[in-house]
Amino acid sequence: MMRACGTCHLIGLFLGVLALVAMSASGADETPSSQQPPTVEEAAAFIKSAEARLLELNVLSSRADWVKSTYITDDTEILAAKADERAIAAQVELAKQATRFDHLKLPADLARKMMLLKVSLVLPTPADPKASAELTDIASRMEGAYGKGKWCPPGKDKCLDIEDLTRLMATSRDPHELREAWVGWHQIARPMRKDFVRYVELSNQGARELGFQDTGALWRSKYDMPPDDFAKELDRLWEQVRPLYVQLHAYVRWKLREKYGDQAVPANGPLPADLLGNMWAQSWENIYPLVAPPNADPGYDLTEILKSRNTDALGMARFGEHFFTSLGFAPLPQTFWERSMFVKPRDREVVCHASAWDVDFVQDLRVKMCIDITAEYFSTIHHELGHNFYQRAYSHQPFLFRDSANDGFHEAIGDTIALSITPQYLVKLGLLDKAPDPSKDLGLLLQRALEKIAFLPFGLLIDQWRWKVFSGQITPQEYNRAWWDLRLKYQGVAAPAQRSEEDFDPGAKYHVPADVPYTRYFLADILQFQFHRALAKTAGCTEPLNRCSIYNNKEAGARLAKMLEMGVSRPWPDALEALTAQRQMDANAIRDYFAPLEKWLEEQNQGKPVGW
């Protein structure tokens, strides 16, 4: 499935305008009286005044970003950069002022809000106005460069954007064409390299001014545990699922050797990044026809079914909305249908990368997508609407608590719903006459593993790379080499063409130039199976997990809503417990879901190389 950005347009802006609030709410800080020990009453007034102004100022930034993303011009980039500059600089300023209350014993809710002020930053701009403006200009320019990126094949009249190339990578079986497309797209990132080096310098400067070692340490500090403990938690989760990934990797490798030959795919080495059906080799479901088990065809093709029924982009979104209303959630507001971008406009440049928006932080919900009528986009729209229904569920919370329990939760909700897109669900929608026999489940499990299990190491390594860049462990002189070292270590994937430090291959992935942390997607892949297992149990499903759908189950919907409504008002283990009755993330739910497939993969790989 396409990795959607979710709420990434708001990251870094969530608390963005707080400096303006701080200047009005705590102007006394500039007087001699500010040297007196602060009181709980002052802290409460500080936060109350901040939250009263936050909504208005953040909406301005959201609207500027929406226009910039759906109408890319030099002017809209400048306007958005200026709005972001004011917002981010404000957040940095308030985070610094909030340190005045560090040693004050505060009520739990107030203490949590103070903590969130400091750790919710993504792009910490330096205090110096010129440096702050430079950093936000760079951030806007890099995202715009990605959005406008195209590859122009030699001798062809049409240049291809990332949507065109995504379709090509998904469907082509010509290794020469795939390699050219891969190299062509990655060239768009080369000009970003200089900007990225400066972005790291300025971002780290801002993080240090807030008391963090670097920007990576700041990012890791938002998970209700010390940064080092969080890193260890990621390692623990990865080790739980790594054996399944290694078996999947080995199986895919020998199947691709059957298709492309020994020269293209090594017997016991890494997989070529251009042969896996996705520009970033982050998920492999598009090559399912090449690796499908014999006699495992479920007997239907959802893409063909949707097209044969003349489903349009709005129809795709209506399917997603109906799933949530079947659980007891209220329908989306009319403005959602009027203001969202469902298809790519013909008259202008846009950022097609799928994302969900809550422009006014209350009810102005939107999605931004360039929908194709495919099974992949059918899942993606369910994912994006998961963000929207989450956003609305916590909109009653105080402003600083209007976010997910942690950012992995936000990504996991929609994917949890997508796990309920089973054949039985499609029968209930009238898209299938009857569900395939359970004997066909192996193919469906493999197809889902190519999406979910294949993604896990990629979801982990992007921020592993960035954290090392921010800390200085990876220097600008080795950006690209270190990138491919990590991809080899975690994914067992290699570039299909010679790479050098003139290239900047990380920049060819949206989330890097757009300054969006990526660990949330790894966490989401873990959490969604844990959520699904718990909700399936609540719904009374006694079938294997892969056959369970919570569609139309109000009890499961009520349990889900209870967690969504909490927002970030409580530490994430509390939210996890509300849904799953567990306080620790558990990747064993993945092994439970894929247990029949893992056993089968081990049997298929007998006598063949495993690992790389």
- Which residues participate in catalysis according to the annotation? 353-354, 383-384, 387, 411, 511, 521
Q: Tell me what percent of the chain is helix, strand and coil, each rounded to the nearest 5.
A: 65, 5, 35
Pick the closest to residue 303 from 363, 373, 360 (CA basis): 373
Beta pairing partners, 358: 365
The 3-state DSSP class for residue 456 equals helix
Tell me the CA distances in angstroms from 477 to 310, 368, 472, 502, one per residue in order: 52, 36, 11, 10
Say if residues 372 and 343 touch (Cβ distance below 8 Å).
no
Residue type, 94: L
What is the sign, positive or negative, of the torsion defined by CA atoms of 440, 444, 445, 450?
A: positive
CA distances from 219 to 14, 124, 195, 419, 470 (A): 14, 10, 20, 29, 11
Angle, alpha carbons 591-293-496 (nearest 5°): 85
DSSP code for 488: I
* DSSP character at residue 151: B
**CB-CB neighbours of 473 under 10 Å:** 11
Q: How far is CA 373 from CA 161, 460, 551, in A?
A: 18, 30, 22
Residue 320 CA to residue 305 CA, distance in Å, equals 16
Cα 546 from Cα 440, distance rounded (Å): 12
Cβ proximity of 355 and 5 under 8 Å = yes
- DSSP letters, 230-281, are HHHHHHHHHHHHHHHHHHHHHHHHHHHHHHH-TTTS-SSSPEEGGGSSSTTS
What is the DSSP-derived secondary structure letter of residue 510? T
Amino acid 151 reads W
Two structure tokens written together for 484: 């491919």
Radius of gyration of the chain measured on its C-alpha atoms: 24
- Cα–Cα distance measured from residue 127 to residue 144, given in angstroms and rounded to the nearest whole number: 25
Q: Which residues pair with 493 in a beta bridge?
A: 271
Angle at 130 between CA 129 and CA 133, to 5 degrees: 85
Beta bridge partners of 356: 367
Report d(CA 449, CA 451) in Å as an integer: 5
Q: What letter would DSSP give residue 608?
A: S
CA distance 43 to 104: 9
Joined tokens for residue 472: 């200085």
